[in-house]
């Protein structure tokens, strides 16, 4: 069955690194830092449920972000722009 709700858009950024210039052009509803190592994955899922149809930013250590992307079969390059819904996570092209 297809997800009838709009996907959320997640921006994954490495903590302690300046955000990319294209981020200023996105309407960001919320921004979060993973409070504890190993929580970025759950934070993306929870935020996607809260921000359907909107964009949110998650900052976490690079290794953690790469690992959660690879676990889902996605390229582990950061920054990452993703659509997230009940059908899973899908990479979308970064803005120029």
Is the pLDDT at 34 greater than 80? The verdict is: yes
Neighbours of 12 (CB within 10 A): 23
pLDDT (mean) for 60-71: 96
Is the pLDDT at 3 greater than 80? The verdict is: no
Whole-number pLDDT of residue 30:
98
Q: How confident is the model at residue 1 (pLDDT cuts 50, 70, 90)?
A: very low
Q: How far is CA 68 from CA 57, 72, 79, 90, in A?
A: 15, 7, 13, 13
Whole-number pLDDT of residue 5:
76
Query: What are phi and psi for residue 53, nearest 5 degrees?
Result: 80, 0
Closest CA to 68 of 49, 31, 42: 42
Is the pLDDT at 75 greater than 70? The verdict is: yes
Is the pLDDT at 62 greater than 70? The verdict is: yes
């Amino acid at each position: 069955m297809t997800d009838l709700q709009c996907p959320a858009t997640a921006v994954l950024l490495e903590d302690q690194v300046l955000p990319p210039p294209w981020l200023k052009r996105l309407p960001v509803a919320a921004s979060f830092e993973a409070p504890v190592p190993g929580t970025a994955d759950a934070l993306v899922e929870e935020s996607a449920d809260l921000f359907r149809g909107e964009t949110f930013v998650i900052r976490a250590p690079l290794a953690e972000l790469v690992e959660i992307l690879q676990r889902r079969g996605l390229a582990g390059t950061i920054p990452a722009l993703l659509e997230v819904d009940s059908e899973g996570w899908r990479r979308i092209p970064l803005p120029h």
